[in-house]
């Protein structure tokens, strides 16, 4: 907002500066051609009418300054006037084209964000005996449409969840996320084994993805005292033990991201971790751990994990999110999704 105000006033500051320098320099040196900078700068942030108004101000300044320099009816001053008029006309055209592109971009973003909101439905706050908390932080305006995805479903096989991150951004990433979520929502009910769900996702992506595009993901299933997971090249979740302690839930055998199964036919294997009363587990995308501060330091998620021990899971996750944004000191450069599951003590 501050930079926008600066840009709006910049044309007038420049033109007044040119006039002041011309007065101070006397009649020996003429700076009037630099008045064309006014309408040129105006086209960067203003509309067509504003740019035309700045050009008119430039001409209004040029006439008395030419009179002061005894150049009012000279060929040199005529060229200056023609130059100001020409630059103003070109700047008006540039401003019009810029506004059209901005409207088109805004429309595309609105459509993509609406599609993303439909895809990323609100997760239930309770699933089985679990309490669920969610945090989704959009990135900066230049990259706020991303491919982070998540889902929790209660099936005959138990509570199952998916969290993932599509390579790339924009509409293509949202489209890929739609394929993954659609395949997961069907397979989570149909398949009895987590590895089979992964095979379904891999087959779905093989029909749609080309080249070396991929999706990192974790599929998990909650049991009475433990949790089964299959990791497809995704950052491992953090298990916050109710008795104290923190465990990074690394897979015993790392698997390739979804979409790259052709490079290694060996399917990713499920592994199990204890998940008992009082425990919490945090799933997250790489936008969390790759967020940097002004010094270029990554966000220290492990060191900040103590924030997740607040009594209310959603309040704990909101506190962690606020700490993440404070660490970066501004908008994130990548989407950051976090999913926190809490198993109350019985």
The β-bridge relationship of strands 280-284 and 238-240 is antiparallel
Contact 218, 163 (CB under 8 A): yes
Q: Indicate the pLDDT class of residue 212, thresholds 50, 70 and 90.
A: low
- In the predicted structure, residue 1 carries a pLDDT above the cut 60: no
pTM of the model: 0.70
- In the predicted structure, residue 110 carries a pLDDT above the cut 80: no
64-78, 94-108, 170-184, 277-291: least confident range = 64-78
Count of Cβ atoms closer than 10 Å to residue 116 Cβ: 23
Mind listing the pLDDT tens digit for each residue in 228-251? Answer: 999 999 999 999 998 888 999 998
Q: What is the pLDDT averaged over residues 310-336?
A: 89
Q: What is the pLDDT averaged over residues 13-33?
A: 80
More confident residue, 91 or 345: 91
pLDDT of res. 321: 93
Which two three-digit tokens encode residue 224? Answer: 């009475």
Nearest to 50 by CA among 81, 16, 7: 7
Which two three-digit tokens encode residue 239? Answer: 């298990």
Residues 6+ apart with CB under 8 A from 320: 135, 304, 307, 308, 338
What is the distance between the alpha carbons of residues 271 and 269, in angstroms, rounded to a whole number? 7
pLDDT of res. 270: 87
What is the distance between the alpha carbons of residues 230 and 193, in angstroms, rounded to a whole number? 10
What is the distance between the alpha carbons of residues 323 and 311, in angstroms, rounded to a whole number? 17
């Amino acid at each position: 907002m501050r930079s926008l105000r600066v840009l709006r006033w910049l044309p007038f500051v420049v033109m007044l500066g040119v006039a002041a320098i011309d007065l101070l320099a006397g009649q020996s040196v003429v700076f009037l051609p630099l008045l064309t900078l006014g309408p040129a700068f105006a086209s960067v942030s203003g509309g067509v009418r504003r740019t035309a108004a700045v050009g008119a101000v430039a001409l209004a300044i040029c006439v008395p300054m030419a009179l002061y320099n005894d150049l009012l009816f000279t060929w040199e001053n005529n060229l200056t006037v023609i130059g100001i008029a020409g630059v103003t006309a070109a700047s008006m055209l540039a401003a019009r084209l810029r506004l059209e592109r901005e409207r088109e971009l805004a429309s595309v973003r609105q459509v993509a964000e609406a599609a993303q909101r439909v895809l990323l439905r609100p997760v239930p706050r309770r699933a089985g005996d679990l309490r669920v908390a969610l945090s989704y932080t959009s990135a900066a305006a230049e990259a706020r449409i991303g491919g982070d995805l998540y889902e929790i479903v209660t099936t005959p096989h138990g509570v199952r969840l998916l969290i993932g991150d599509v390579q790339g951004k924009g509409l293509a990433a949202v489209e890929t996320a739609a394929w993954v979520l659609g395949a997961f929502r069907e397979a989570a009910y149909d398949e009895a084994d987590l590895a089979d769900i992964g095979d379904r996702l891999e087959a779905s992506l093989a029909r749609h993805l080309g080249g070396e595009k991929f999706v990192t993901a974790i599929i998990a299933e909650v049991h009475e005292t433990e949790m089964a997971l299959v990791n497809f090249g995704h950052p491992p979740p953090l298990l916050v033990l109710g008795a104290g302690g923190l465990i990074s839930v690394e897979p015993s055998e790392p698997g390739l991201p979804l979409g790259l199964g052709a490079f290694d036919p060996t399917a990713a294997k499920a592994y199990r971790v204890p998940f008992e009363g009082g425990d919490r587990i945090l799933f997250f995308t790489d936008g969390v751990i790759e967020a940097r501060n002004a010094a270029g330091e990554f966000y220290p998620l492990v060191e900040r994990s103590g924030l997740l021990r607040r009594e209310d899971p959603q309040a704990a996750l909101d506190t962690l999110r606020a700490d993440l944004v404070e660490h970066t000191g501004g908008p994130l450069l990548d989407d950051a999704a976090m999913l926190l599951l809490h198993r109350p003590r019985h």
